[in-house]
Amino acid sequence: MNWRPRFWILFVFALPLLAGVPQRWLDAALLPGLSQGMVAALGLAHLGLALVIGSRTWARVLAGAALITLPVIGAGALVSALLFVTGLSPRGLAVVGPHYVKLAVNMLTVIPLTLGLVATVPWNRLELRLLREPHGVSTLQKAALMTVRVFSHIFFVVIPQAMEVVREEGRGRGIKALAGQMGAIAVAGICAALRFIGLWAVEIGALPGRKDRR
């Protein structure tokens, strides 16, 4: 199937999930902070992604969403716990726990759907088309080319490398080991994401503009 039908099928499927329709229809609580609608939206989102974009791409999307969600939830929960222990905040586990459960489930629903929509677009072909533009490349096209290249690098290089770090660093147990793993993932992800940006900026900036060609 061509990428355009897949994109629009996933877009139409994702729209009610992103708009929170299941949460409004099924608002009964399963756990504090977790409703039936949230669980239904989470399950439908990942089932739809696996069917439309394929299991391999879905696995990368899920890995990317997890790498974004875990540091946010972990850091937020840690700060909340420290504030409660030190007496700076009266909000204990019974208050902040449901909040972070809800936030985690929502992030693991919304982020994969968004990444899945973007992943259906053939970025490499769009990049090649821009590079072969016979009349030069405008400033807007250069910005689009930079965006395309950065996203392709993150999706096809940074996320797999981060998962490799997870496999290598995931042998320890306990809070200390978990903190070390999250730190290693963060450092690896930042380094991999920023590694070629300067080179790409110089390369894309040197492309002939529309007024430079004769």
Angstrom distance (rounded) from CA 117 to CA 125: 16
Give the 3-state DSSP-derived string for the chain, with helices as H, strands as E and coil as C: CCHHHHHHHHHHHHHHHHCCHHHHHCCCEEECCEEHHHHHHHHHHHHHHHHHHCHHHHHHHHHHHHHHHHHHHHHHHHHHHHHHHCCCCCCCHHHHHHHHHHHHHHHHHHHHHHHHHHHCCCHHHHHHHHHCCCCCCCHHHHHHHHHHHHHHHHHHHHHHHHHHHHHHHCCCCCHHHHHHHHHHHHHHHHHHHHCCHHHHHHHHHCCCCCCCCC
Beta strands 29-31 and 34-35, pairing class = antiparallel
Burial class (CB in 10 A: 0-12, 13-18, 19+), 168: exposed
Per-residue pLDDT averaged across 159-184, rounded? 61
What tens digit of pLDDT does each residue of 89-117 get?
A: 777 777 778 888 888 999 999 989 988 88
pLDDT given for residue 105 in this prediction? 92
Q: Which residue has the tokens 């989102």?
A: 45
**Domain spans of the chain?**
1-121, 122-214
User: How many whole angstroms from its chain centre is CA 21?
Assistant: 22
pLDDT given for residue 154 in this prediction? 72
Residue 92: φ, ψ to 5°? -90, -170
Least confident of 6-20, 120-134, 147-161, 178-192: 178-192
What tens digit of pLDDT does each residue of 122-153 get?
A: 877 777 777 777 777 778 877 877 877 777 77
pLDDT given for residue 180 in this prediction? 61
178 pLDDT above the threshold of 60: no
